[in-house]
Structure 1
């Protein structure tokens, strides 16, 4: 009875999600215009615009229910910052979580049904407990993937920021002003980080605000503290006339040193992980050699 109820509920929910995923509700014109406008007070972090087309099948299927999850507190603030770094909509990620949870919820009853058809008895409480555990695991698993991807993206962002600082220092050494040096440095590079930097500087130019304000908000939104520190140093040059060329050069050198240290630490960790299979293989070889002797001694007693 329990298996029938769970399978029926899961099947109905799955059909509803498939139907709404194939024909999602269209947002109104007011909602689309509001998404293009920054929040009041300029608190929207620069570079927080996401690509609504970057969706997989799981995100499309679960997106209607994902809107409800995204509006709740089930998506942590850390996960939202990681999604901002990756440029993924929160609704799509929530849809992936819902889809994975539904798949996990239906997996145990499906396996139980197959076992029942095959004549294998299964305890009545196992399908229910398995459904709950697999649904919880499916709901949490997308967050782990997003966290790992965001960590790699932040490493790439720090590499790009180091190059951006070097280019800015070169522009300042050539006699350019702070804003001109920042614009030239952002235009010289390519990649997601340079695109975000150009977007932040364009926002500053079009809204007639100092460039260090959107750069600082971008650093907070991406979780890259070095970018926020650079924006604070640039603000000193813009408001107090401080010389920042040496400071930016030191920051770029510091970023390269940290990147080299992190690369060495990852290489050491990879070497240690590679030694584990060798140890296991050696232990298995010792067991293979010593088993006949131990078996002969035990049978002789």
Structure 2
């Protein structure tokens, strides 16, 4: 009983500390604010508070400790780069979700004790460990799923982008002009990324295929890196790029159709188990009265 009271008291204290830290964040140090470029220092706090919500704000104090243990991993950093999500925000959300999972069972156990119901010590402790681990892994799994969906959507948009580039090249446009015209036609996050990349290339006065290659490596889409290499070959060595881009667009469409067919077949196979379970339950429902009557007559 004493151990449970101590555990509940510690959990309550940690929760109150996180609330105080979240409501009254510490201001940035003056030396870091002066050394950093203008506008970069206050942005994480504002972004976590206004854009990413309270979870990112409350978990900020735990970010430096999670960084010291080597988090996030390389694959998670790649997924965060795909989504253009700051690492600090992701770690803060993980810390907040883990603490919430740890404190939920003790809070529920306290309510049960107030209602004169004694669940014991093992159930709250086990529930805290399970929910804490689940809360810590939930943002990780969410980032992986969102990054995979974003890459798939980007590949679909890139296929249509290649078709538009080929059309512009056939109309007599140059490589740079064809890229700009194709990026202006489409809509959506992928075309927005492409327009930003091409605009950055114009402002920096660098070849657009270099920026496209950087974008492809950031979002982990090798097809965009290959496209940048093909376009760069045409821009620097005068190679005929239209046929190459057309064949690449056709291969990308065929690959996406194959992936979509595989996903549809997998979904069909997953639907087989619920149907079999439903049919088995229906047979049990029909056969149980007869079986009970036979066994009762023996």
Q: Is the 8 A contact 1:200 1:218 kept in 2?
A: yes
1:177 partnered with 2:174: yes
1:4 correspondence with 2:5: yes
How far residue 290 of structure 1 moved from its aligned partner, in angstroms, is 1.4
Q: Which runs of 4+ in 1 moved over 4 A?
A: none
Structure 2 counterpart of 1:261: 258
Contact 1:108 1:130 in 2 (8 A): yes
State the secondary structure of the residue aligned to 2:157: helix
SS in 2 for 1:264: helix
Match of 1:225 among 215, 222, 225: 222
Q: 1:74 aligns with which of 71, 76, 82?
A: 71
Question: Which residue in the other structure is 1:246 paired with?
Answer: 243
Across the aligned residues of Structure 1 and Structure 2, the Cα RMSD in angstroms comes to 2.4
User: For the Cα contact (< 8 Å) 1:70–1:90, is it kept in 2?
Assistant: no
Normalising by structure 1, report the TM-score: 0.85
Are 1:213 and 1:231, in contact at CA under 8 Å, matched by a contact in 2?
A: yes
Quickly say closer, same or farther: Cα 1:34–1:148, change in 2 above 3 A.
same
Q: How do residues 125-136 of structure 1 correspond to structure 2 at under 5 angstroms? A: 125-136=122-133
* In 1, Cα distance between equivalents of 2:120 and 2:68: 38
Check whether the contact 2:79–2:143 (CA below 8 A) recurs between aligned residues: yes
Change (3 A) 1:26 1:197: farther
Structure 1 unaligned regions, length at least 5:
37-50
SS of the equivalent of 1:142 reads helix
Query: Contact conserved, 1:54 with 1:88, CA < 8 A, in 2?
Result: no
Q: Secondary structure at the match of 2:124?
A: helix
Q: CA deviation at 1:29?
A: 5.4
Match of 2:44 in 1: none
Runs of at least 5 residues in structure 2 that lack an aligned partner in the other structure: 42-46
| 1:4-83 matches, cutoff 5 A | 4-27=5-28, 28=33, 30-33=35-38, 35=40, 53-66=50-63, 68-70=65-67, 72-83=69-80
Distance 1:29-1:21 versus aligned 2 partners, 3 A rule: farther
